Structure 1
Amino acid sequence: MSDSQWTKQGGTFSHKNACKEFGLTEDEIIDAMKAGKLQYRQNYAHGNPYFRVLRKEVEAFAKELHGNKAVEEQEIKFKLKKINREINSLKRKLSCLEKQKVELLEIQKHIKA
């Protein structure tokens, strides 16, 4: 595989994120790396090692292990989880902003009075 896949944004991710996104176990990914089915590069984050793997290869590997339907279902679950996380984050931000608005309106009332 050419270096373009390694430098392309979104072309790689950590082996832990691959587990989450495609419903694979860490052992399955490491076994595939040892067998030469997945290319990987070792990186470090804050002194902790992790493996970067190619998204396309992990997707093909997951389809090989679990089939297309299971991978599609897992992809939908992952996207829904991501969307729900974002919705909850926005709800928290909205709640905080509404509290600030009420406080400012109270201050404004006291200034006018």
Structure 2
Amino acid sequence: MDDLNSEWQRKGATLSDKTARKEFGLTQEGIVEAIRAGKLQYRHNSIHGNPFLRLLRREVEAFVSNEHGDGYLKEQRTKAELACIDRDLKRLRKQMVVLEERKAALLAGAGMLPDGRVSTGPSARH
């Protein structure tokens, strides 16, 4: 029993019903039916007063594999990982734009050219 409790505590071992729907293409009705059939364990949880079901990831993966096959599970995992990578790339692009703007402002304020050389403006050419 202690091993089961530790699984509920371990980071990444659980997911919400909403995440299961998004990652694995399940429906809320399918999740509830699997719970009633004893194929999925769940715990009630809430964040900021919003209730949700917490499920064990390994059980959801086994359920999806049994219902739709290993190929479907692999495809869904690939889609989820690609979506995560795309989100990270988008975030990094935004961060890069902000840093480039900050760099340009610092260089302009210090009278430097983008390559790091000191600018010799018109007043310095007498």
Alignment TM class, shorter chain as reference: over 0.9
Could you tell me how far apart the structure 2 residues matched to 1:15 and 1:83 are?
22
Aligned counterparts, 1:1-113, within 5 A: 2-109=4-111
- Relative to the length of structure 1, the TM-score reads 0.92
Q: Note the C-alpha offset of 1:94.
A: 0.3
Structure 1 residue runs of 4 or more that deviate by more than 2 Å after TM superposition = none
What are structure 1's unaligned runs of at least 5 residues?
Answer: none
SS at match of 2:39: coil
CA distance in 1 between counterparts of 2:6 and 2:12 reads: 11
Aligned length: 112
Task: Quote the RMSD (CA, aligned, Å).
Answer: 1.6
Q: Deviations over 1:14-72 (max 9, x none)?
A: 11111111121122112111222110000011111000000000000001111000110
- Determine the C-alpha separation between the residues in 1 that align with 2:107 and 2:65: 56
| TM-score for the superposition, normalised by structure 2 | 0.83
Give the AA of the match of 1:68.
D
Name the structure where helix makes up a greater proportion of residues: 1
Aligned-residue offset at 1:107: 0.7
Structure 1 counterpart of 2:9, one-letter code: T
Distance 1:29 1:96 in 2: 42
- Larger radius of gyration between Structure 1 and Structure 2: 2
The percentage of counterpart residues that share the same residue type is 45
Higher relative contact order (CA 8 A, sep 6+): 1
